[in-house]
Amino acid sequence: MISCDVLERVHKGTVLREDALHLFRASSSELFSLANDLREGVNGNIATYVVNRNINFTNSCVGDCKFCAFKSEDGYVLGKDEILEKVGEAYDLGATEVCIQGGLLPDAKVQYYCGMLEEIKSSYDIHIHAFSPMEVFHASRNSDMGVDEVLKELKRSGLDSMPGTAAEILVDRVRGIICPSKLSSDQWISVVKTAHKLGIPTTATMMYGHVETEDERIEHLLKLRDIQRETGGFTEFVPLPFLSRNTYLEGNRLSCLDNLRILALARIIFHKNIKNIQVSWVKMGKTLAKFALLCGANDLGGTLMEENISRSAGSMYGEYIKPEEFDSMISSIGRTPMKRSTLYDRLF
């Protein structure tokens, strides 16, 4: 049973590390009920999604992440015309956002990323959600520029918001095993804080279910909460279960129940600071994603139209959901479906 002291701190938004460990030991029914109550208090009866498209512009990468199944020695790099064609297709289907990420090309400098943004913005009035903190850090090193200078250039060229990927677990013991050449925890935090202070909002993520401990998951969540308290720049939190097929890293094979419990814990820790908890239907599947809306989540993410990274690692849940199917999933559990913008403005 969740103790009264812990519940008091939960409702105040002041959950401690030891409280989170205590919550990890609570029964699933207690955890889900508490998370759902908090979700209702923050988000009401609305469940949201965004009409968007993923564009992975290259699967070539100089990185050595052991969890990646997307990188290929015979990789592709999309040209500007190919990227514009994909954006145009999404725009014609009613997408309000394109999410653009890719591998780390060895010589990619800030001008390369800016050129991509400028081409899109000159042709389409669409929100560009692009480039992980690792991509920004990579461009900074290649361009011999500070991260703040790179972010300012990207923003001037049309960057509207950033995915908070490359976070994995923000504990350097874990990062040393799963992604040794990637930016450190402190470097990821620095890039994200700088983006927020420059008016570039980001998502927040956690990729879990590999070599991390429960305590390290909690450390990661509390670090994200600290960032949000300082900057207010996270639009949402997205827990990402690790998919191990075609990778060099063995997963912990967490159950469906485990995934829902981690999502519920995130809602409980974040409810005063990060309003939106998104479930990844690509990684969890449509059925579990719907159940997640009863365990603390309020958002089903995007229609995507194209999703290559999770599919490479063994996702079996497709790469596109029509808005009508999202509406049906949400309505079937008694919630009101709502299209949203990237920044969570409601689109009727």
180-224 pLDDT per residue, tens = 999 999 999 999 999 999 999 999 999 999 999 999 999 999 999
Q: What domain range is 95 assigned to?
A: 4-347
Which stretches in the chain have pLDDT values below 50? 246-247, 307-317
Q: Indicate the pTM of the whole model.
A: 0.93
pLDDT for res 306: 61
Paired sense of beta strands 336-340 and 346-347, if any: antiparallel
C-alpha R_g of the chain = 19
End-to-end Cα, the chain, rounded Å: 41
Domain count, the chain: 1
Task: Report whether 59 contacts 70 (CB < 8 A).
Answer: yes
Task: Report whether 296 contacts 264 (CB < 8 A).
Answer: yes
pLDDT for res 308: 46
3-class state of residue 58 by DSSP: strand
Q: CB-based contacts of 252: which residues, under 8 Å, 6+ apart?
A: 209, 210, 242
pLDDT for res 258: 93
Give the distance, in angstroms, between the CA of residue 318 and the centroid of all CA atoms in the same chain: 18
Six token digits for residue 341: 């913008």
**CATH code (residue 251):** 3.20.20.70
What whole-number distance in Å separates Cα of residue 77 and Cα of residue 312? 17
The predicted-structure confidence for 30-59, as pLDDT tens digits, reads as follows 999 999 999 999 999 999 999 999 999 998
pLDDT for res 347: 87
What whole-number distance in Å separates Cα of residue 151 and Cα of residue 311? 30
